[in-house]
Amino acid sequence: MTSLEWGMLVALSVLWGGSFFFTGVAIRELPPLTIVFLRVALAAVILLTVLKAIGLRMPKDRSVWLAFLGMGFLNNVVPFCLIVWGQTHIASGLASILNATTPLFTVMVAHALTADEKMTGGRLAGVFFGLVGVVVMIGPAVLDTLGTNVLAQLAVLSAAVSYAFAGIYGRRFKRMGVPALATATGQVSASAIMLLPVVLVADQPWTLPVPHAATWGAMLGIAALSTALAYVLYFRLLASAGATNLLLVTFLIPVSAIVLGSLVLGETLQAKHFAGMLCIGLGLAAIDGRVMAKFRSGSEATAQADDAPPAISDPAIYQGRDI
């Protein structure tokens, strides 16, 4: 990836890592599925307003809207519902680790379904180091419960698989010529439409007390920043860098969340956090490939220099010779 794409990936991880702060405020007064629905519905309103303000129109082709529905189903409805249900039965740390398997599934799905994102040794090594880094950062102790509440853990793993397929599925919007802003708008709009009946049945929001201003502020933050703006970056990166590189953001989200907790909430960074960040950094470098390429080129240059005949620099050695 280019430096700009790496910068966008880090920005995306900060936006999604910041969603934990907003959710932490909203969850005090709203049930999880209602938060998910409001998140995508408010984001759709925000993005539609932006589109109108800049004079862009949403595509009207039936095929494009069917693609929006497919993307919303794979990227929002299925994983959001599975993760919300899973986290009611398992610890959030274990859920984060299981969710961090997304790049691994993406590498496998991309290898099977694409011609230009094939599996390589560097990518597999990078995914391994990244996953180890997430485990180290969150704390290996959370793995003690691995194997209990199997259905909940399978639900979170299934969400990771859904994200992987969504990354591959979303590549079609570039071929369709749909801009990133319109794609983000269409996806969250389709997600809101599909989630509405689920929320009406499960949460019956009309029976809930009216939330306070802090809750609405948190919902506005998660909708505007962690959803609307984040998905514009998501689809721009998907079009330029591919699904495998894009979903490396899963490794960076815990880093962003922990660093933001330190800067904003005054939480203490521990040795395990730095060790985890180092592993994740090694993984990202392995997947990027440029560091290893420079190392290999440097080694090859050294080997060639060792094999070359010695250079003669003393003029006296040429005396008496016909050169």
Residues of the chain with pLDDT under 50: 312-323
- Specify the pLDDT at position 181: 92
pTM for the structure as a whole: 0.77
Q: What is the DSSP letter of 140?
A: G
Please compute, for residue 241, the number of CA atoms within 13 A of its CA located in the half-sphere on the CB side: 23
CA angle 179/42/200 to nearest 5° reads: 120
Structure tokens at 168: 């591959």
Collapsing DSSP to helix, strand or coil, 72 comes out as helix
- Helix spans in 210-288 (H): 213-223, 230-241, 243-246, 249-265, 271-288
Collapsing DSSP to helix, strand or coil, 28 comes out as coil
Contact assessment for residue 127 and residue 283, using Cβ atoms and an 8 Å cutoff: yes
Contact assessment for residue 164 and residue 106, using Cβ atoms and an 8 Å cutoff: yes
- Specify the pLDDT at position 191: 94
